Amino acid sequence: MQSKKFKFGVVVFPGSNCDQDCYHAVKSVLGEDADYIWHQDEILKGYDCLILPGGFSYGDYLRTGAIARFSPIMKAVEKFGRQGGLIIGICNGFQILLEAGLLPGAMMRNKNLHFICKYVKIQVENINTPFTNLCKSRQILKIPIAHNDGNYYADKETLKALKKNKQIIFRYLPPNPNGSIDDIAGICNEAGNILGMMPHPERASEALLGSENGKLIFSSIVNWLKKRKA
């Protein structure tokens, strides 16, 4: 008997450009169910995990993610997250989560002021999360980045809290590509159900892409859902 599939929702904003990549990773690579959710929708129903994909939501006018944060769907996304639902924000999706206050900190322009698109190596700092439970402690993952505003910043008190609560999930290995404070590449909220990361795991979900390390993150989500619903 085939096990029940989990349902992922990929939120699409005007300017999203990694929505199809995320959909493919979930639907074709993992074999789970997936829907596109338009930014003007206001109701979420039956989803096990939401993905806020990368891109340039609303053209990145004002600040990256600042306008998307006010899309109608975000009220439902915020409610879903505060009720314990799994959310992963990737690149621009991470920026949206920051603007919405679902994750602490902010994004600034890359230190070199240039758009960066290349594979980088990140280290898994916490494997006790829904997004990393299939990773090994301090495992190194090869995953690409593609951003202009990926320089994560948090004040001293916020950074201290992130470290204390083990909310730093990924760190860049040297050299740090964008100037991100404490080499941070990804963080989660204190409850652990919301992850934001600048690297693109969906672009490293199959060997033909140059790495399938990103598949570990999506597979970890499915593994966590299976254990929770067992």
Q: What is the pTM of this model?
A: 0.96
Per-residue pLDDT tens digits for 48-83: 999 999 999 988 877 778 889 989 999 999 999 999
The whole-angstrom separation of Cα 69 and Cα 72 is 9
The whole-angstrom separation of Cα 90 and Cα 215 is 14
The secondary structure of residue 5, as a DSSP letter, is: P
Sign of CA dihedral 208, 214, 144, 120: negative
7-228: what CATH class?
A: alpha beta
* Amino acid letter, residue 187: I
Instruction: Looking at the chain, list the stretches that DSSP marks H as alpha helix, in order from N- to C-terminal side.
Output: 19-24, 73-82, 92-99, 156-164, 215-228
**pLDDT grade for 102, boundaries at 50, 70 and 90:** very high
Query: Where exactly are the structural domains of the chain?
Result: 7-228
Per-residue pLDDT tens digits for 103-114: 999 999 999 999
Q: What percent of the chain has a predicted confidence (pLDDT) above 70?
A: 99
Is the separation of the CB atoms in 88 and 221 below 8 Å? yes
Residue 41 has pLDDT above 60, yes or no: yes
Task: Tell me the average pLDDT of the chain.
Answer: 95
* Amino acid letter, residue 186: G
Residue 1 has pLDDT above 50, yes or no: no
Long-range contacts of 75-84 (CB under 8 A, 24+ apart): 75/42, 76/41, 76/42, 76/43, 76/44, 77/11, 77/44, 77/50, 77/52, 77/102, 78/102, 80/44, 80/47, 80/50, 81/50, 81/189, 81/193, 81/194, 84/191, 84/193
39 is catalytic: no
Of the residues 32, 99, 125, 202, only one is catalytic, namely: 202
Of the residues 18, 22, 49, 91, only one is catalytic, namely: 91
135 is catalytic: no
200 is catalytic: yes
Per-residue pLDDT tens digits for 142-185: 999 999 999 999 999 999 999 999 999 999 999 999 999 999 99
Cis peptide preceding 175, ω within 30 of 0: yes
- Match 């992922």 to its residue by tokens: 8
Per-residue pLDDT tens digits for 75-92: 999 999 999 999 999 999
The whole-angstrom separation of Cα 196 and Cα 90 is 6
